[in-house]
Structure 1
Amino acid sequence: MDQWISQIEQWVRQQPVEQIYVAVAVLALTVVLFVLFSLLKTSKSNTMVLAGLSGSGKTILFYQLRDGSPHQGTVTSMEPNDGTFVLHSELGKKGKIKPVHLVDVPGHSRLKPKLDEFLPNAAGLIFVVDALDFLPNCRPAAEYLYDILTKSSVVKKRIPVLILCNKTDKVTAHSKEFIRKQLEKEIDKLRTSRNAISTADISDEFMLGVPGEPFTFEQCRNKVTVAEASGLTSEVSQVEQFIREHVKP
């Protein structure tokens, strides 16, 4: 061992000083990059945000995902519901399961700005739509969704968005295909009117869609999908699947 160390020391003394400095710098940079990569890998967000108009059923979904029961979710929430937990459907599974940080942002117009507190760290966003009472709320829902899809925090990070059609257990509820098409039409109208606003007024927004073409969600820079659920009847499998696609167990 002593002979081996002696040979290394002799070899080092024979090398130009500049070459040794370069080797040390490369080694140090490699270590720093490895540490940063490890930190980024382990600190991936587990935050899922529930958003949507007031009365769409977000709070019921929050309780169903957490407890498997709607509890008092029929009461409109005026404060964000915020919790970190393992999904109720996964409680019986073996092995270590990563908890989900779920945030239910109230849909009241005064409280919508609270959404900006959670979006920068979101792994995904679930936009809840009332499929039963959809048509009277189509325009305001489209406006809210437009605001979300054009936010710089959503576009730059390509935050995936799930449009969740809630209350689909009711016979008179609209289908997810109908809701998707109607939202696309309304957003297309909004895009036309808002594009006329000066760029100074929309500095924090990104333009939606392809100029000269009807708007579709496929044109968004981030992935936008549509699914169905019923918070009252515990049919939340599609939203659970979306959560676990972006917050790995």
Structure 2
Amino acid sequence: MDNLEDLKILAEQWFHQGVEFFQQIPPTQLYAAIGVLLLTTILLVSIRLFRRTKSNTVLLSGLSGSGKTVLFYQLRDGSTHQGAVTSMEPNEGTFVLHTENIKKGKTKPVHLVDVPGHSRLRSKLEEYLPRAAAIVFVVDALEFLPNCRAASEYLYDILTNTSVVKNKIPVLLCCNKTDKVTAHTKEFIRKQMEKEIEKLRVSRSAVSSADIANDFTLGIEGELFSFLHCYNKVTVAEASGLTGDTDQVQEFIREYVKP
């Protein structure tokens, strides 16, 4: 009983001492301290909420004819939708990946966006990049060489985009249509695109910064360009939308949009 009374007396003493301490602090300083405390609390809560609500948006980008739309439908429901025409608007949907849906497992839906590949429609990509968790850049491995320069320029623009660099959005260089005998290998495609991007890097760095539309430059001074030099992670994989060989693409998606 005596111990309880002693604790009560001690608590009252601490309370009065605390009140006296705060009364000695000038009001302006006290209000400033309270303001800083509130702002810090709000910031910490915001950071935690942001971390809990990670994006589930994955973008399919690349030139027209690379097979993005076929890949989109293959991932969505296992169909191919062959003969689909180039759309003027992004093709998008939120769904559980087809193979995961078959297994009936509990997985997080993916918001997949098939961005038009036509040069006049690529501005649509800018609308989605700030909220993208990952990007799948699709290349036609069958008709690669005639389109190598154009594909490299498009990928260069993505890799130097402000949102991609600052958010370190991972990119998968997806070599599509590899089921064909005459298709180029992913190693060949990677090396050729690195060479083309090196040419672009050199030529664009020689131009006045006022004339460059890109937000960042690529590469390491004095070294030939490699995807390893990018601000964000770039990996290379093979796929075939027509045959349903999309395992590597799905693995990439699930690495950044957790089940």
Q: Secondary structure at the match of 1:32?
A: helix
Alignment partner for residue 205 of structure 1, among 215, 239, 242?
A: 215
Shift of the 8–98 alpha-carbon distance from structure 1 to 2, 3 Å rule, reads: farther
Instruction: List aligned pairs for 1:74-153, cutoff 5 A.
Output: 74-93=84-103, 96-153=106-163
Shift of the 131–41 alpha-carbon distance from structure 1 to 2, 3 Å rule, reads: same
Shift of the 176–11 alpha-carbon distance from structure 1 to 2, 3 Å rule, reads: same
**In the alignment, what sits opposite 1:14?**
17
Number of residue pairs matched? 248
Alignment partner for residue 215 of structure 1, among 215, 220, 225?
A: 225
Alignment partner for residue 42 of structure 1, among 52, 56, 71?
A: 52
Contact 1:80 1:104 in 2 (8 A): yes
Q: Secondary structure at the match of 1:91?
A: helix
TM-score, normalised on structure 1?
0.90
**In 2, Cα distance between equivalents of 1:149 and 1:142:** 10
Instruction: List aligned pairs for 1:228-247, cutoff 5 A.
Output: 228-247=238-257
Q: Secondary structure at the match of 1:48?
A: strand
Equivalent position amino acid for 2:22 in 1: V
Alpha-carbon displacement from aligned partner over 1:59-88 (angstroms, at most 9, x marks no partner) = 001101111111246433332101111111
TM-score, normalised on structure 2?
0.87
**Cα distance, 1:234 vs structure 2:** 0.5
Structure 2 gap ranges (5+): none
Identical positions, percent: 67
**In the alignment, what sits opposite 2:169?**
159
**In 2, Cα distance between equivalents of 1:56 and 1:18:** 71
Alpha-carbon displacement from aligned partner over 1:88-136 (angstroms, at most 9, x marks no partner) = 1111445542111111101011101111000011111110000001011
**In 2, Cα distance between equivalents of 1:88 and 1:149:** 29
Alignment partner for residue 186 of structure 2, among 176, 181, 185?
A: 176
Counterpart check, 1:62 vs 2:57: no
Contact 2:157 2:214 in 1 (8 A): no
Structure 1 gap ranges (5+): none
